Amino acid sequence: MNRSELLRPSLTRATPARAPYSQQVHFLASFFGGPFAALALAAINGERLGRWRRDAPWVLLGLLVYLALEVALLQTEAGRALLQQLDVWVGQGAHGLVVRVYALGCFVVFMLRHRREQAACDLVGLTRPAGLGPGIGLILGGFVLSYLLRTVLA
């Protein structure tokens, strides 16, 4: 074995992690696209950071909780009564408010889970991918999927 082989790092990844989409893109996609967009972008960022296996259970849990929330709000008497009461308190659109708050909660969970990697990307000056196209696509996709889910459950 020669010296160059001894100095070569042996614990590096086969494929280096790529820079994730920015927190601003994730926030806007979550706010306007809802939980589907928030969880999809969290999964995409997890894959880009090379931590998909650690994030997949959290993404699936977030999806299951969202589906359970929608079923509880739209299919149960207590959920419908809660939405009616929220409509009285905050005006029409209480269901959208509840879903948007949940989506922002998903954003916060993954913001905290990815904070070290996001800070490291900023520290070393990695160029973030352009988020406009994927962000708009996720917003539209999240809106359509949420609409279809509400249509099926209503």
* Per-position b or e across 31-48, b if 16+ CB within 10 A of its CB: ebbbbbbbbbbbbbbbbb
**pLDDT at residue 126, rounded to an integer:** 84
pLDDT, one tens digit per residue, over 94-136 is 999 999 999 999 999 999 999 999 998 888 888 889 999 999 9
Check pLDDT > 80 for residue 67: yes
Fill in the amino acid letter for 45: N
DSSP state of 12: -
pLDDT, one tens digit per residue, over 6-41 is 556 555 556 666 889 999 999 999 999 999 999 999
DSSP state of 9: -
pLDDT, one tens digit per residue, over 71-92 is 999 999 999 999 999 999 998 8
Give every CB contact of residue 88 below 8 A, 6+ residues apart in sequence. none
Q: How many CB atoms lie within 10 A of CB 25?
A: 20
